Amino acid sequence: MAQKKTYALPNIISPNTPVIFNADICDGCNTCVEVCQVDVYIPNPEKGKPPIILHPDECWYGGCCVNECPRPGAIRFNWPVQQRAYWKDKATGKVLRDSQV
């Protein structure tokens, strides 16, 4: 296993990553930074890059960041594990769950 520098970090807050950016699609326009009512994000210090998720614990899951994003696919929601939904196929009776990762 490659040795990586280990920092002394406090515990990561939960949820850690309420959304996932696709850096190939995101052009760092920061629309999501502006439409978020609780300021989950701050702009990336490097222009053109996806914002930093600074306050993930405050996410209201309002969804405006994803819904307003001018570049579809640049952000997607990543619901915390305990919030994943359940449903059932009416024909087979099989119980299904959101397992998107």
Partner 1 sequence: MTKWHDFLEKDGKAPVWPYPVNYDREQEIETDVLVIGGGIAGCWAAISAARKGVKVALVEKGDTIRSGAGGPGCDHWCNAPANPLSNVDPDEWAEHMTEGIYSNGIGTQIQCRENYDALLELEQMGGKIRDTDDEYEGAIGRDEKTKFMISPRYTRVHSYIPGLLKPKVLKSNPEQKLNNVVIRVWGTTFKPALKKECKRLGVNIYDRVMVTSLLTEGGVQGARVVGATGFNNRTGEFMVFRSKAAILATAGNYSLFLLNTELSGYNTFRSRNMTGDGVAMAWRAGAELTLMERSMILMLGTGYKHTWYGGAGDASYENVPLVDANGKLLPWPTQGWADAGAMRPTPEVMEKIRQGVQNGEYALPFYGDFPAMPDIERKATWKLMLGEESTTKIITGSYEKAGFNPDKHLLQNYNFIEGTSPSQWRTTGGGGPVIDWDLKSTLDGLYVAGEQTFSAGDHSYAAATGRYAGRKAADFSRQIGEGRISREQIALEKARVYAPVTRSDGIDWKELNAGIARTMQYFCSEFKTESLLNMGLDSLKDIEENHVPRLYALDPHKLMRSIEDLSLLTHGQIVLHASLARKASSEMLNFFRIDYPEVDPPEWRKYVTVKLENGRVKVGELPMKYWGDMKANYEAHNPDYEGVYKGK
Number of residues that bind partner 1 (CB under 8 A): 59
What Å distances lie between residue 84 and 20, 40, 55, 77, 98, CA to CA?
16, 21, 21, 11, 6
x/- letters, 45..64, toward partner 1 (CB under 8 A): x---xxxxxxx-xxxxxxxx
Q: 76, 20 in Cβ contact below 8 A?
A: yes
What Å distances lie between residue 22 and 7, 69, 76, CA to CA?
26, 12, 8
Tell me the DSSP string of 3-22: --PPP--PPPPSSS-SEEE-
Please tell me whether residue 25 binds partner 1 under the rule CB under 8 A: no
Please tell me whether residue 5 binds partner 1 under the rule CB under 8 A: yes
Please tell me whether residue 14 binds partner 1 under the rule CB under 8 A: yes
Measured from the CB of residue 3, what is the shortest distance to partner 1 in angstroms?
13
The residues binding partner 1 (CB under 8 A) are 4-5, 7, 9, 12-18, 21, 23, 34-39, 42-45, 49-55, 57-64, 66-68, 76-77, 79-80, 82-91, 96, 98-100
